[in-house]
Copies of this chain bind each other. A is one copy, B any other.
Amino acid sequence: MPGYTAPTRDMQFVLHDVLKVTQTGIPGYDELERDVTEAVLAAAGKVASEVLAPLNPVGDRIGCVLENGVVRTPEGFKDAFAAMKDGGWTSLDCDPAYGGQGMPYLLATAVGEMFVSANMAFNMYQGLAHGAYSAIHAHGTAEQKATYLPGLVRCDWTGTMNLTEPHCGTDLGLMRTRAEPQDDGSYRITGQKIFISAGEHDLAGNIIHLVLARAPGGGEGTRGVSLFIVPKLLVNGDGSLGARNAVSCGKIEQKMGIHGNATCVMDYDGATGWLLGDLHKGMRAMFTMMNEARLGVGLQGYAVGEAAYQNAAIYARERLQGRAVTGAQNPGGPADPLIVHPDVRRMLMDQKSFLEGARAFTFWGAHLIDRSRRCGDAEAEGLVSLMTPVLKGFLTDKGFETAVTAQQIFGGHGYIEDSGMSQFTRDARIAMIYEGANGIQALDLVGRKLAQDGGRHVMAFFEMVKTFLKENEGDAALKAGFLDPLKAASKDLQAAAMFFMQNGVKTPDAALAGSYDFMHLFGHVCLGLMWARMGRAAMAALAAGAPDRAFLEAKLATGRYYMARQLPMTATHLARIRSGADPVMALPAEAF
């Protein structure tokens, strides 16, 4: 059975050596002293390793069962969910006014990585509660907040997001679910929603569905769509639970992975709902939560990859097979461990260098979200908006690749479900699809975010890279391994952006044909920047005589690997982008 060990040391390095959280001046960050975060991460890591990880293969094997409208989660999920609640893990960054602990989103992100690594499907139940919490907290009336938030914060109740219908996924303008206004100010919601994660289950006393639907007078397309609160059980004025609402789970989908989470077809049959936020502005309400939600999915991508990697590394150290080409390394044994073989090393280094870069990138993004929220910093908000599609698209693509590579190290054993490696691959696959398929992320990046606010945010990003390079140009130790590759990659990114500016207006297809490559090119530059910062931080710590030299030296070697072996991809992405729309669009539809 696969195991999981929380990478606390790596997280501490990002928080304190790279982001230097206590020096940021962000309200609440002053509490994130090294020993505080150490204690929180250690405690969360214990829950992840001891409670959640053992249930991961159980959830995959048993899955969820729908019987007479009731969904049963896998054996052990109820107890684990109770343990999460009791430990206060569901309310870390929630508003103290509603029972939350008011900690930075960054800290919740670090803890979230551990829980996702340990058991992605399980963690989605509380993740969706948190999503509903965020939506109601941002857009609800005082009464709605008082009614729904405490239950969601404690995870006595969970939440859902209802967007997709059978005939409309990405294109929500096609939505058919109707909301009819009632005299008492409520709405009657009628329609079918599909792919509703945690739509029905037995872990919580109530489920607060957030449903996009079309109310009269809103016009065609997405403009006419509003967001509604539709609780499974109606909540009485005194907060007690009342009658069952007219919403039910019609079916559970059989999926490739995340079997432990119930993906439901939800039927709304004149269910009672209440408008959340402004009428006909439902899409806007959804969008305000998008940075956080998409960062959360990007995190899923690499966090599952992290769990897969850890198990692959152990296997590579323990499994004896073949001899090192440079001479036996384990002469007393029947063979050398897999890890002596250069190509096995390559696979491990690909994983490790991506994962550590992805963690830094995600933590940096979470820190920008805190900065924008807690300091009202519009620049931080703009920057993280720009990078959100990269965080989601790049990290989930590469996270899946990481899981596949980890599985590969196990050889045939990786294909057998017993090893648990197949589950990581199957689970990681969904993150590339949901919360906006990765092609949509690329479209958002190139079609929307690049030019947002007059292109100010992408210019700010380039400026930041330039400043970093300039600040460190005298550092000979950093130059060849880190600065030069970052400079080259950043140049490729600028050239690609320039290509879009020159061609995008007269040939929009030319920009969109290169959008996916641009997203990956951007992702590599972001990870390159993260590695350059980590490289500098590691060198600084070594120079300051930090005691854990082996850890810091490994950090430097891992960074050099990323720069030498992954960053050269930017040239290929640029070449593809520059080939423009013609090769992509040449064929008539019937030629496929």
Question: Which A positions have Cβ atoms within 8 angstroms of B?
Answer: 164, 167-171, 173-174, 194-195, 253-257, 263, 313, 316-317, 320-322, 325-326, 334-335, 337, 339-349, 352, 400, 404, 407-408, 411-418, 422, 425-426, 429-430, 432-434, 437-439, 442-443, 447, 508-509, 512-513, 515-516, 550, 554, 557-558, 560-561, 564-565, 568-569, 571-572, 575-576, 579, 581, 583-592
Contact = CB atoms under 8 A, between A and B. Distances in A.
B568 A583 contact: no
A345 B560 contact: no
A321 B255 contact: no
A261 to B, nearest CB: 12
B571 A583 contact: no
B564 A586 contact: no
Nearest to A346: B584
A592 B317 contact: yes
A254 B343 contact: no
B592 A579 contact: no
A61 B424 CA distance: 20
A512 to B, nearest CB: 4
Contacts of A564: 576, 579, 583
Contact of A341 (B512, B565, B591): B512
A558 B587 contact: yes
B352 A592 contact: yes
Nearest to A339: B589
A410 B257 CA distance: 16
Contacts of A426: 256, 426
A303 to B, nearest CB: 18
A380 B162 CA distance: 60
B411 A317 contact: no
Given A509-B325, A512-B341, A439 B583 contact: no
Contact of A349 (B316, B422, B587): B587
Contacts of A316: 592
Contacts of A434: 412, 415
A195 B410 CA distance: 13
A34 B418 CA distance: 49
Contact of A411 (B169, B411, B585): B169
B195 A412 contact: yes
Given A345-B584, A554-B591, A571-B571, A174 B509 contact: no
Nearest to A422: B256
A254 B341 contact: no
Contact of A516 (B170, B343, B429, B513): B343
B334 A174 contact: yes
B174 A415 contact: no
9 contacts: A171-B321, A254-B416, A343-B443, A344-B439, A404-B429, A415-B433, A557-B591, A564-B579, A564-B583
Contact of A313 (B343, B413, B433, B592): B592
B345 A439 contact: no
A346 B572 contact: no
Which among A194, A257, A558, A586 has the highest number of chain B CB atoms within 10 Å?
Answer: A586
A475 B408 CA distance: 44
Nearest to A312: B592
Shortest 7 CB-CB contacts between residues of A and residues of B: A568-B575, A342-B512, A256-B422, A557-B586, A313-B592, A564-B579, A554-B591
A334 B173 CA distance: 9
B416 A255 contact: yes
A509 B329 CA distance: 14
Contacts of A422: 255-256
A564 B413 CA distance: 38
A417 B414 CA distance: 21
Given A313-B592, A412-B164, A513 B432 contact: no
A202 B439 CA distance: 45
A568 B561 contact: no
Contact of A560 (B344, B348, B586): B586
A202 to B, nearest CB: 22
Contacts of A447: 325
A477 to B, nearest CB: 15
Nearest to A437: B411
A78 to B, nearest CB: 26
Contacts of A173: 335
A438 B584 contact: no
A447 B254 CA distance: 44
Nearest to A554: B591
Nearest to A592: B313
